[in-house]
Each structure stands twice: as structure tokens, then as C-alpha cells.
Amino acid sequence: MSSFLIRRMAFVFVSLIGATAIVFALSRMAGDPILLYAKPYGYGDTEEYLNNLRAHLGLDQPLVVQYVKWVWQLAQGDLGLTLLSRRPVIDVIGEKIWNTFQLAFTGWLFATVLGVPLGVLSAVKRGTFWDYIGRGFALFGQALPAFWVGVMLVLVFSVTWELLPTAFKAPPSVSDDYVHWNPWGFYPEYFILPTITIGWGAAAGYLRITRSAMLEVMDSEFVKLARA
């Protein structure tokens, strides 16, 4: 048991090192970070300024040293500053995390409410019209990529029929939310298309898993004995 845990911990450690090394390498492949950091603001006209800034940020050190420092800061929760706004990355993520949670939750809820009942119906009505409908939905749901489904939904419901917005609107002020009795900042009409896009493939997966589990139970000996 202890040897198994040691092997698993070693595997996790190597995986983390590999993942962080790849991310660090990709960040350096985008170009000189100093130029990306200084040029948008009109700085960096002189080589001396760029060299001083590079030394101040520690980018004049070997890549191995930069990587170790970057991993250490990452372990402490310091994700650095954004290149455009020069704000802490963790603050920018915090501003969007609520919208991300809402969208992830609604996508999961859509997939569960649609996929599980269809899976049960497809198993109970095995070999019938409803089973073919469920299996067809599972096939197309997992075959069609989410980005294509999203484009088609926008094309039909937003561009052609003009029933739903194409994307999230700019968040209203807090006062507007409370005046319109919406203290949580949730606007259902802006979640419909993204929710369907995210939950479409997951619903197909839930359907197949539920149908397979139901058929396995229905074909088991104790169920056959109970029916007899």
C-alpha cells in the first residue's frame, strides 16, 4: 500500500512539473515579456529602460531560475499581473468567477435534466420509437462539436429570428440589479444559448451512461426473478 502511494505521489509530482514547465515555455514563446509589458503603454523607447525593467522583474536571469521563482509564486497564490491592465490576475479572475459559476451550473443542470430522463426513457422503451430518438440524440449530441452548435444557435435564434441575444451584455450596475429585483445579477435570456451549447454534449453523455446502467440492471437476474 505504501509503495502504491509513493508511486502515485511521484506520478502527481512529475505531472505537475511537466504541466507547469509547458505553461511556462508557452508564455515565453509569445515573445519578449518586456516588450509585451512596456510597448502598449508607449514605454520602452530606449534599450536602457528595457534592460532596467528586465532586471527589476528578474527576466535577465536564466530560464531555470525564472521557472523556479514562477512556480514558487504560483504555489503562494501569486499569479502575477496582466499585461494589459497591470492588475493582479487573481483580481481579474475574481471579477468573472460568478458569471463562470452561473454558466457552469446552468449547463450542468440542463445536461442532467435532459440527459438522465431521456436515458431512463430510452432504456424502459428499449427497441421502440423513443429508444431510437434517445440513441439518435446521443449520437448527434456527441458527434457535433460544441462550437458548431453554438454558432448554429446564434444564427437561428439571434440572427435569423432575433429571439435571444447573441452574447452576455455588459453587467448593469448594482443599483440597477436591485431596482429591477435582481440582486444576484442573473439574466436568464443571456444564459439560454450558452447553456444549451455547453450542456448539449454532456446531456448526450448522461443519456448513454443512464441507458447503459438501466439496461444492465433490467437484464440482471434479480430483476428477471422479480418479474417472474
The answer to whether 153 and 196 have CB atoms below 8 angstroms apart is: yes
Per-residue pLDDT of the chain (228 residues; tens, 9 = 90+): 677 788 888 888 889 888 988 988 888 777 777 777 766 555 556 777 777 877 877 778 888 888 988 889 888 888 877 777 778 888 888 888 888 888 899 999 999 999 999 999 999 998 899 999 999 999 998 898 988 999 999 999 988 888 888 765 554 444 444 444 455 556 778 888 999 999 999 999 999 999 999 888 888 877 777 776
In this prediction, residue 39 carries a pLDDT of: 62
* Domain extent at residue 158: 91-227
In this prediction, residue 186 carries a pLDDT of: 60
Angle at alpha carbon of residue 197, lines to 98 and 103, rounded to 5°: 10
In this prediction, residue 178 carries a pLDDT of: 43
Do 217 and 104 share a structural domain?
yes
Last residue of a domain, one of 32, 53, 87: 87
Handedness of CA 127, 131, 137, 139 (dihedral sign): negative
- Show Cβ contacts of residue 119 under 8 Å, excluding neighbours closer than 6 positions: 134, 206, 207, 208, 209, 210, 211, 214
Do 136 and 61 share a structural domain?
no
pTM for this one? 0.68
Query: Residue 143 is inside which H or E element, if any?
Result: helix 129-143
Single-letter residue type at 42: G
Give 88's strand partners: 81
Look at residues 46, 25, 31, 19 and name the one whose alpha carbon lies nearest to residue 83.
31
Q: How many domains does the chain have?
A: 2
In this prediction, residue 45 carries a pLDDT of: 61
In this prediction, residue 96 carries a pLDDT of: 83
Q: How far apart are CA 214 and CA 121, in angstroms?
A: 10
Do 81 and 114 share a structural domain?
no
Do 60 and 13 share a structural domain?
yes
In this prediction, residue 167 carries a pLDDT of: 64
